[in-house]
């Protein structure tokens, strides 16, 4: 197989003490593993490591997962000096110590042999993705039906000199493989905590687990309800696909952006893990923003929302309300706090902003959504949505995200023995605007802290033109360049692409000009598509590396376990072009370019000045040895010296000065002449081949004309094309086939899983009920049975309705196929 390559002080002390107590639960062994002596280590380029170069067989780790809608990535980087790779064949983890930029700035060296890390339990699922936390102490092994946390500091085993690491399952009661009703859609470490993991599952629940306290019970649960009561929409609008945390920009750091399969984006804010650490300056900035723009507003709703946000901030971060000297504080820790009489609102779907009446940026992508990414670039918050058709949609938040709660739906809280909040669960219902699409030429009726979700401005839609077969969707993963946030890397079946944004709405407002949107730069970095066979081999691992000197690399592993390391350009990649290629040059510029530069000054080319002889004098009547003759001779000699001798000196100086320059010009002209002669020779050699190609092209054109003439005789040529209504019905059937059926099956599986768990809990509670046969307990038991019967009847009705819908869709698809054939 051939691959183509193109080119935290006082407040911090409390945090450190808590962090040490947490790290004790994360590190089960007291002593780290001994390192290999330096004299036995060999530093080789990462791509030349024997672990990668020795394997020639097809790597069995690719394609083991039954769910083909998740991207496999077996590589992870701790952000400093270690790269981890999961060996799915031997079910172990390899750790590579790397040196970035040594001995050359563009090289990446890895120590060999690598360290082998073995889990202390046997995994009952096939790992499809690995991810590491910020401090590099734990690594997640995830799949669509289970996940485990592997603590990387273990003890050395006498067998095979490997390191045995403690491995614990996370959320096994919910995501175990034997159940199979709830699938894991996305797992991510929280960016402001080393022990919290966020999980989005197919039952439309967003959960946060704290690995330092409880592994099977989530700390926070958010049941996503994107539909308002009394409204009905298609199944694709209630199926989540992916989520992404916000970054360092006001309330974005407390926000979670959730993507659904129909392309709609929702926001949960604020979401903060218990014990996570934040910068003090950012918290003060958010607190000041709420007091300035919320409390001083003329809108009563804005005052109410900002008051709730301020009370939440002061309770979560008590340092805000203590009134003490805070100049020495650099970071603060979030305290467990929840508003007991209200739940978070699911803000959205975020409405779109159109530039005019004709363009609608929401309906230009094909297929379903597959992945989602949040990227903070200066003042701009950019959301990137990947579609299965190979398109990337770049949207920017026009306004700020702000927290929003809804009263009348209190959360369910869990307390410990000291009456402290240990966890909570809440139902998050959607809050949508009346307008789904707005235009830039219309005034925005937007007030800060009014409860309206921020609108989205579509920047650009990039079509990657991915090669894919019929009835197959492209799975795309996106990574942010750590040095250049304007650049993202897209990992797909055909390789890796680099996309650089050259236009951002808020970054270009400082110029004061209405600049046109510049198209992004799209380059293919790695291509794994084989044009001859029409197949592609996706990468099984991919990481983005960077150092403190401004160098950046990408590293990937192919399906044959071949490592690829490429240096990426970081300097001058965002500088605009100094010349506008579309601007036509002026006539003066054309004339100046056509004039040959002066090699010798024009004064020398004109020649010496003519000596003017005084009039009215005759040299013949003057004696040579007389005073008059000598004065006349002296006068003529002076004129001759001023005009001819000085001119000769100027000529000599300029010829001596321009001699090497003329020599270089002549040499360059000779070289160009030889190149032109060689090109002429090549053209003469290729002329017969060109004649043959033209002859074959003419023959092929004639053959195509004959085939076209024969095809015109076929009866199918007289069929009319599909009308607009037929095309819309066809696209609706395609959407039902790719999205709706999967969504219905997932909903049925989730309901069946909940029913099984509820019946099992009733069986476990049944003996306790029989031991106390009082009338009150019997009444409670009978009421529960009645509720269960009612829920079963409703479930059977829902299942029957869903089966009818499935039959209708299958019948319509069958009829459409028959009409098509």
**123: which 2 tokens?**
């995994």
- Local structure of 600: helix, strand or coil: coil
Q: How many structural domains are present in the chain?
A: 2
Residue 91 has φ and ψ, to the nearest 5°, of 55, 55
190 burial class (0-12, 13-18, 19+ CB within 10 angstroms)? buried
Query: Is 528 in contact with 516 (CB distance < 8 Å)?
Result: no
Indicate whether 171 belongs to any domain: no
In sequence order, what DSSP letters do the residues of 43-83 get, joined into one string? EEEGGG-HHHHT--SPPTTTT-SS-TTS--B-EEE-SSSEE
pLDDT of residue 701: 92
Angle at the Cα of 406 from the Cα atoms of 322 and 428, rounded to 5 degrees:
105
Indicate whether 148 belongs to any domain: no
Query: Is 392 in contact with 462 (CB distance < 8 Å)?
Result: yes
Can you tell me the distance from the alpha carbon of 798 to that of 345, in angstroms, rounded to the nearest whole number? 27
Indicate whether 209 belongs to any domain: no
Residues 597 and 665 in one domain: yes
Can you tell me the distance from the alpha carbon of 244 to that of 457, in angstroms, rounded to the nearest whole number? 18
Can you tell me the distance from the alpha carbon of 107 to that of 99, in angstroms, rounded to the nearest whole number? 8
Can you tell me the distance from the alpha carbon of 54 to that of 35, in angstroms, rounded to the nearest whole number? 24
Count of C-beta atoms within a 10 Å radius of residue 199: 24
Indicate whether 524 belongs to any domain: no
Name the residue among 261, 560, 278 with its Cα closest to residue 388. 261
pLDDT of residue 86: 93
For strands 391-397 and 277-279, give the pairing: unpaired
| pTM of the predicted protein model | 0.69
Buried b (16+ CB within 10 A) or exposed e, 92-102: bbbbbbbebbe
With a CB cutoff of 8 Å and minimum separation 6, the contacts of 73 are: 128, 129, 130, 477, 491, 540, 541, 542
Residues 582 and 660 in one domain: yes
Can you tell me the distance from the alpha carbon of 636 to that of 748, in angstroms, rounded to the nearest whole number? 117
* Domain ranges, residue 671: 577-607+641-679
Buried b (16+ CB within 10 A) or exposed e, 43-73: eeebbebebbeeeeeebebbeebeeeebbbb
Can you tell me the distance from the alpha carbon of 237 to that of 74, in angstroms, rounded to the nearest whole number? 31
Can you tell me the distance from the alpha carbon of 221 to that of 236, in angstroms, rounded to the nearest whole number? 22
Indicate whether 368 belongs to any domain: no
Indicate whether 661 belongs to any domain: yes
**19: which 2 tokens?**
């962090």
Residues 672 and 736 in one domain: no
Residues 586 and 669 in one domain: yes
In sequence order, what DSSP letters do the residues of 305-333 get, joined into one string? HHHHHHHHHHHHSTHHHH----TT--EEE
pLDDT of residue 588: 45
Adjacency order of strands within the sheet including 138-143: 129-132, 138-143, 146-151, 167-169
Those residues of the chain that have pLDDT short of 50 are 1-37, 39, 56-66, 357-363, 434-436, 441-445, 470, 510-514, 577-585, 587-597, 772-780
Each residue's pLDDT tens digit, 329-344: 888 999 999 998 889 9
Query: Is 477 in contact with 71 (CB distance < 8 Å)?
Result: yes
Indicate whether 658 belongs to any domain: yes
Dihedral in degrees, nearest 10, Cα atoms 426, 431, 436, 437: -90
Name the residue among 482, 479, 511 with its Cα closest to residue 496. 479
Angle between helices 775-820 and 741-771 (to 10 degrees): 160
Residues 602 and 667 in one domain: yes
Compute CA distances 193 → 211, 278, 360, 713, whole Å.
Answer: 11, 9, 39, 70
Q: Identify each DSSP E strand in 253-379 by its residue range.
A: 256-260, 265-268, 277-279, 331-333, 342-344, 346-347, 352-354, 369-377
Residues 675 and 742 in one domain: no
pLDDT of residue 250: 87
Query: Is 426 in contact with 344 (CB distance < 8 Å)?
Result: yes
Determine the straight-line distance between the first and last CA of the chain, rounded to whole angstroms: 38
Can you tell me the distance from the alpha carbon of 161 to that of 115, in angstroms, rounded to the nearest whole number? 9
Residues 735 and 673 in one domain: no
Indicate whether 585 belongs to any domain: yes
């Amino acid at each position: 197989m051939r691959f183509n390559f193109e080119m935290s002080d006082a407040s911090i002390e409390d945090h450190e003490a808590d962090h040490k107590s947490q790290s004790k639960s994360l590190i089960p062994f007291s002593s780290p593993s001994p390192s290999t002596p330096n004299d036995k280590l060999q530093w080789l380029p990462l791509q030349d490591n024997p672990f990668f170069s020795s394997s020639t067989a097809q790597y069995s780790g690719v394609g083991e997962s039954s769910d083909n809608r998740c991207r496999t990535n077996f590589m992870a980087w701790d952000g400093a000096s270690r790269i981890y790779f999961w060996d799915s064949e031997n079910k172990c983890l390899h750790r590579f110590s790397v040196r970035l930029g040594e001995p050359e700035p563009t090289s990446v060296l890895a120590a060999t042999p690598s360290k082998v890390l073995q889990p202390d339990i046997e995994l009952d699922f096939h790992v499809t993705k690995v991810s590491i936390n910020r401090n590099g102490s734990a690594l997640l092994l995830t799949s669509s039906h289970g996940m485990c946390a592997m603590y990387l500091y273990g003890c050395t085993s006498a067998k095979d000199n490997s390191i045995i690491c403690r491995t614990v399952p996370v959320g096994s009661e919910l995501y175990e493989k034997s159940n199979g009703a709830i699938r894991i859609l996305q797992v991510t470490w929280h960016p402001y905590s080393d022990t919290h993991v966020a999980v989005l599952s197919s039952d439309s629940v967003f959960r946060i687990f704290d690995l330092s306290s409880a592994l099977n019970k989530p700390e926070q649960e958010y049941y996503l309800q994107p539909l308002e009561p009394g409204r009905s929409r298609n199944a694709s609008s209630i199926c989540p696909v992916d989520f992404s945390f916000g970054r360092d920009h006001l309330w974005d750091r407390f926000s979670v952006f959730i993507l659904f399969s129909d392309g709609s984006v929702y926001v949960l804010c604020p979401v903060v893990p218990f014990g996570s650490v934040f910068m003090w300056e950012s918290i003060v900035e958010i607190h000041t923003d709420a007091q300035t723009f919320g409390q001083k507003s003329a809108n009563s709703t804005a005052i109410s929302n900002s008051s709730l946000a301020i009370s939440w901030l002061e309770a979560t971060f008590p340092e805000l309300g203590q009134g003490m000297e805070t100049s020495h504080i650099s970071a603060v820790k979030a305290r467990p706090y929840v508003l007991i009489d209200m739940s978070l609102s699911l803000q959205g779907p975020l409405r779109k902003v159109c530039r005019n009446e004709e363009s609608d940026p929401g309906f230009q992508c094909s297929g379903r959504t597959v992945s989602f990414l949040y990227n903070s670039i200066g003042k701009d918050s950019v959301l990137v949505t990947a579609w299965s058709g190979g398109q990337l949609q770049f949207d920017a938040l026009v306004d700020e995200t702000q927290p929003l709660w809804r009263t009348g739906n209190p959360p369910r809280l869990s307390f410990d023995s000291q009456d402290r909040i240990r966890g909570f669960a809440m139902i998050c219902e959607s809050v949508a605007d009346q307008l789904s699409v707005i235009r830039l030429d219309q005034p925005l009726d937007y007030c800060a802290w009014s409860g309206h979700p921020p609108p989205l401005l579509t920047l650009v839609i990039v079509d990657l033109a991915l090669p894919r077969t019929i009835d197959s969707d492209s799975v795309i993963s996106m990574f942010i360049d750590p040095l250049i946030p304007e650049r993202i890397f897209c990992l797909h079946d055909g390789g890796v692409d680099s996309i650089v944004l050259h236009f951002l709405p808020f970054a270009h407002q400082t110029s004061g000009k209405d600049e046109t949107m510049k198209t992004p730069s799209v380059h293919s970095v790695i291509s794994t598509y084989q044009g001859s066979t029409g197949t592609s081999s996706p990468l099984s691992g991919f990481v983005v590396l960077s150092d403190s000197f401004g160098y950046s690399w990408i590293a990937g592993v192919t399906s044959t376990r071949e490592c690829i390391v490429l240096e990426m350009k970081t300097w001058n990649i965002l500088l605009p072009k100094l010349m506008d290629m579309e601007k036509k040059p002026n006539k003066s510029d054309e004339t100046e370019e056509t004039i040959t530069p002066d090699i010798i000054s024009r004064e020398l080319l004109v020649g010496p000045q003519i000596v003017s002889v005084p009039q009215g004098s005759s040299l013949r009547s003057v004696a040579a040895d007389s005073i008059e003759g000598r004065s006349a001779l002296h006068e003529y000699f002076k004129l001759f010296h001023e005009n001819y001798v000085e001119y000769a000196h100027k000529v000599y100086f300029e010829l001596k000065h321009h001699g090497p320059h003329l020599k270089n010009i002549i040499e360059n002209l000779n070289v160009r002449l030889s190149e032109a002669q060689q090109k002429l020779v090549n053209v003469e050699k290729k002329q017969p081949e060109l004649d043959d190609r033209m002859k074959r092209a003419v023959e092929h054109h004639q053959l195509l004309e004959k085939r076209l003439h024969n095809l015109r005789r076929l009866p199918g040529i007289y069929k009319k094309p599909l009308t607009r209504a037929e095309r819309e019905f066809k696209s609706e059937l395609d959407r039902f086939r790719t999205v709706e059926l999967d969504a219905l099956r997932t909903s049925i599986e989730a309901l069946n899983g909940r029913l099984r768990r509820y019946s099992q809990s009733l069986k476990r509670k049944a003996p306790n009920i029989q031991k106390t046969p009082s009338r009150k307990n019997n009444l409670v038991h009978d009421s529960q049975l009645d509720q269960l019967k009612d829920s079963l009847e409703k479930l059977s009705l829902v299942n029957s309705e869903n089966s009818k819908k499935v039959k209708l869709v299958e019948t319509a698809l069958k009829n459409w196929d028959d009409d098509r054939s």
